[in-house]
């Protein structure tokens, strides 16, 4: 499967998953509703993962010398989507209801996701070209003698594994807020209609920080940026509590400051990871090209 085909297939999967959510609303049986909705969520995750991996691959192909910066721009786009989606869905839900909202987003993904994917250049599917730009991407490195680096090389390289674990932990910290944040804010007296501003603030700060982190990566060692991200994440979690041990004020303002810092920490922990993994393998193999391929 080529990279262009992977993006197209991932878009089809996400559209199908979105339609499944709409279909689930037509079942009065609670069990059937959950089965169909969970199936849609599963397919949504598969399509989303497929597109995200290939997007990182394409960035390292097209911008091998500035991957940090352009990965930051991709994260900005994702953050804008996370900020605006709740607002759009709230307005659409008012007029179209539950099923209509998902049908609306299925069409939106078709127009803004699948159709643009059809115009990606076919050269992105080539992994054996002699052109340097056709020989780099996301999961395995080409060294000078054309021997590919496989997944095992990444999981046995300490720098690569460390970078991966940091990104994993950043997503754990971020996603852990999803099921409890709204409940926590409403328990503290915030209207449920405004609880979504917490998520919007988090993604807004992440979007603003991503290009800045990408620029900083060009002049500061990535390890220091990752360490800064860890520190910000720790502070943000104490604020989200808020921590009784530190006797932090138990109010909504403290939680929102924690959400803002969590968004910045997400940028600091995500942007440097892919280039760091690339460099770790390139350094180990003494290839010096910093380019990897996702086919092996």
Q: 120, 148, 175 — which closes off a domain? A: 120
Residue 196 domain flag = yes
Maximum mean pLDDT: which of 164-168, 195-199, 247-251: 247-251
Task: Kindly state whether residues 111 and 234 are assigned to the same domain.
Answer: no
Give the tens place of pLDDT for each residue, 158-167: 877 887 787 7
Q: 120, 153, 175 — which closes off a domain? A: 120
Residue 218 domain flag = yes
**What is the Cα–Cα distance from 133 to 129, expressed in whole angstroms?**
9
Count of domains for the chain: 2
3-state secondary structure of 70: helix
Task: Kindly state whether residues 92 and 178 are assigned to the same domain.
Answer: no
Task: Kindly state whether residues 94 and 221 are assigned to the same domain.
Answer: no
Residue 129 domain flag = no
- Asked whether 68 and 210 are in contact (CB, 8 A), the reply is no
Task: Kindly state whether residues 84 and 150 are assigned to the same domain.
Answer: no
pTM recorded for the entire structure: 0.62
Task: Kindly state whether residues 32 and 68 are assigned to the same domain.
Answer: yes
Residue 126 domain flag = no
105 CB contacts (<8 Å, ≥6 apart)? Answer: 18, 89, 92
3-state secondary structure of 142: strand
- Comparing 149-158, 224-233, 267-276, the range with the smallest average pLDDT is 149-158
Task: Kindly state whether residues 232 and 255 are assigned to the same domain.
Answer: yes
Task: Kindly state whether residues 101 and 197 are assigned to the same domain.
Answer: no
- Asked whether 90 and 84 are in contact (CB, 8 A), the reply is no
Task: Kindly state whether residues 69 and 199 are assigned to the same domain.
Answer: no
Confidence at 103, pLDDT banded by 50, 70, 90: very high
Q: What is the mean pLDDT of residues 51-69?
A: 76
Residue 200 domain flag = yes
Residue 56 domain flag = yes
Give the tens place of pLDDT for each residue, 114-137: 887 778 877 777 654 344 444 444
Domain residues for the domain of 47 are: 1-120
pLDDT for res 104? 92
More confident of the two residues 174 and 290? 174
Task: Kindly state whether residues 227 and 283 are assigned to the same domain.
Answer: yes
Task: Kindly state whether residues 114 and 141 are assigned to the same domain.
Answer: no
Residue 210 domain flag = yes
CA distances from 56 to 34, 75, 113, 293 (A): 33, 10, 16, 11
Say if residue 199's pLDDT is above 60.
Answer: yes
In the chain, % of residues over pLDDT 90: 4
Residue 128 domain flag = no
Q: 74, 91, 120 — which closes off a domain? A: 120
pLDDT for res 167? 76
Q: What is the mean pLDDT of residues 191-200?
A: 69
Q: Which two tokens stand for residue 246?
A: 């530190």
Task: Kindly state whether residues 105 and 154 are assigned to the same domain.
Answer: no
């Amino acid at each position: 499967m080529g990279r262009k085909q992977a993006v197209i297939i991932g878009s089809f999967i996400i559209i199908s998953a979105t339609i499944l959510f709409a279909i689930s609303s037509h079942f009065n049986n609670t069990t059937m509703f959950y089965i169909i909705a969970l199936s849609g969520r599963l397919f949504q995750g598969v399509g989303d993962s497929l597109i995200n991996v290939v997007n990182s691959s394409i960035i390292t192909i097209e911008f091998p010398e500035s991957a940090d910066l352009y990965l930051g721009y991709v994260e900005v786009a994702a953050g804008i989507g996370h900020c605006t989606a709740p607002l759009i869905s709230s307005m659409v839900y008012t007029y179209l209801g539950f099923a209509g909202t998902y049908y609306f987003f299925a069409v939106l993904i078709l127009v803004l996701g699948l159709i643009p994917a059809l115009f990606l250049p076919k050269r992105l599917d080539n992994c054996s070209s002699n052109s340097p730009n056709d020989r780099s991407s996301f999961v395995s490195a080409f060294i000078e003698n054309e021997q590919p680096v496989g997944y095992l090389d990444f999981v046995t390289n300490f720098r690569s594994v460390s970078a991966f674990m940091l990104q994993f932990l950043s997503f754990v910290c971020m996603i852990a807020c999803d099921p409890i944040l709204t409940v926590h804010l409403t328990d503290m007296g915030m209207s449920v209609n405004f609880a979504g501003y917490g998520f919007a603030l988090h993604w807004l700060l992440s979007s603003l920080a991503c290009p800045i982190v990408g620029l900083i990566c060009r002049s500061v060692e990535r390890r220091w940026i990752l360490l800064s991200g860890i520190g910000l994440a720790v502070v943000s979690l104490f604020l989200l509590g808020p921590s009784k041990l530190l006797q932090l004020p138990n109010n909504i303002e403290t939680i929102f400051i924690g959400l803002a810092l969590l968004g910045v920490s997400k940028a600091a922990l995500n942007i440097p990871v892919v280039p760091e993994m690339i460099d770790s393998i390139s350094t180990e193999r003494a290839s010096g090209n910093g380019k990897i391929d996702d086919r092996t």
